[in-house]
């Protein structure tokens, strides 16, 4: 495993099981990333068939989550992993839960492609696309960081969530102003607002996955701690 300090085990089968599960996580991540990419493309082009494709692909993501979860439970029961091996299994279980939820958010975004917007309202879809590309980049980079268990790359993604939050807040203010100026547009603009909220949540999920990577590499849970504490953990001594 590239950059993953799992080490060698007495049982070569254990190594194979860990590698197989990790690869399935990456496959799931690839499906979810494609879901989000297709959802954003569908909104940009008002492509209903592409939106339907996103909506119909959710069962594949769900099935992968269930199968990976079962494989992790079997590893824990049979191998009783400790130290970094146990942290890897825990990181995988938490990551697939967030990936499944990212897929759900991508579905919500795809539904906007089924709406019709006039020329004035389409400006907000451009802003939505900008936020979407920011979040899509975060997802791609955190999946790459997970593949390599790259501490520095994970930390960079973790910091990028603040920028995504700022974009979301700015877009929200624009949408609220537009709705006050044209109450007739409220139903459609609300759909854009919920999509923006979905993108903001995806950014949060990417940040979560970055924290799981830090947990695996450093052996320390960095959820719900200050940015300064996370920085000290990333730059400090590696866990065993």
Residue 2 has pLDDT above 50, yes or no: no
Confirm if 127 and 172 have CB atoms less than 8 A apart. no
Residue 92 has pLDDT above 70, yes or no: yes
- The CATH T-level fold of domain 12-235 is Methane Monooxygenase Hydroxylase; Chain G, domain 1 (1.20.58)
Domain ranges of the chain: 12-235
The pLDDT of residue 10 is: 47
Mean pLDDT of 115-133: 79
The pLDDT of residue 8 is: 54
Instruction: Specify the range with the lowest mean pLDDT, choosing from 53-62, 81-90, 124-133.
Output: 124-133
Average pLDDT over the chain reads 90
Residue 174 has pLDDT above 60, yes or no: yes
Residue 59 has pLDDT above 80, yes or no: yes
CB-based contacts of 130: which residues, under 8 Å, 6+ apart?
167
- Please give the full DSSP string across 15-82, using - where no structure is assigned: HHHHHHHHHHHHHHHHHHHHHHHHHHHHHHHT-HHHHHHHHHTHHHHHHHHHHHHHHHHHHHHHH---
The pLDDT of residue 188 is: 83
Instruction: Specify the range with the lowest mean pLDDT, choosing from 2-16, 73-87, 200-214.
Output: 2-16
Question: What does the longest C-alpha to C-alpha distance in the chain come to?
Answer: 69
The pLDDT of residue 189 is: 86
Confirm if 75 and 8 have CB atoms less than 8 A apart. no
Show the tokens assigned to 189: 């603009």
**Helix boundaries (H) for the chain:** 12-45, 48-56, 58-79, 83-110, 122-148, 151-181, 186-218, 227-235
Mean pLDDT of 168-184: 91
pTM: 0.90
């Amino acid at each position: 495993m590239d950059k993953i300090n799992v080490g060698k085990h007495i049982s070569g089968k254990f190594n194979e099981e860990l590698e197989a599960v990790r690869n399935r996580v990456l496959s799931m991540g690839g499906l979810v990333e494609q879901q989000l990419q297709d959802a954003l493309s569908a909104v940009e082009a008002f492509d209903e068939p592409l939106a339907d494709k996103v909506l119909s692909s959710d069962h594949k993501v769900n099935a992968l989550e269930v199968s990976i979860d079962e494989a992790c439970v079997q590893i824990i029961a049979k191998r009783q992993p400790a130290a970094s091996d146990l942290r890897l299994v825990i990181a995988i279980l938490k990551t697939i839960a967030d990936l499944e939820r990212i897929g759900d958010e991508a579905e919500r975004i795809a539904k906007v492609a089924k709406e019709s917007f006039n020329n004035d309202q389409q400006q907000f879809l451009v802003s939505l696309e900008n936020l979407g590309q920011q979040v899509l980049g975060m997802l791609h980079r955190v999946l790459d960081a997970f593949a390599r268990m790259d501490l520095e790359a994970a930390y960079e993604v973790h910091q990028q969530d603040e920028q995504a939050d700022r974009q979301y807040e700015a877009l929200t203010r624009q949408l609220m102003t537009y709705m006050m100026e044209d109450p007739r547009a409220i139903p459609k603009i609300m759909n854009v607002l919920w999509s923006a909220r979905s993108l903001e949540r995806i950014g949060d999920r990417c940040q979560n996955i970055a924290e799981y990577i830090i947990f695996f590499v450093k052996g320390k849970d960095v959820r719900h701690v200050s940015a300064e504490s996370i920085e000290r953990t990333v730059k400090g001594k590696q866990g065993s």
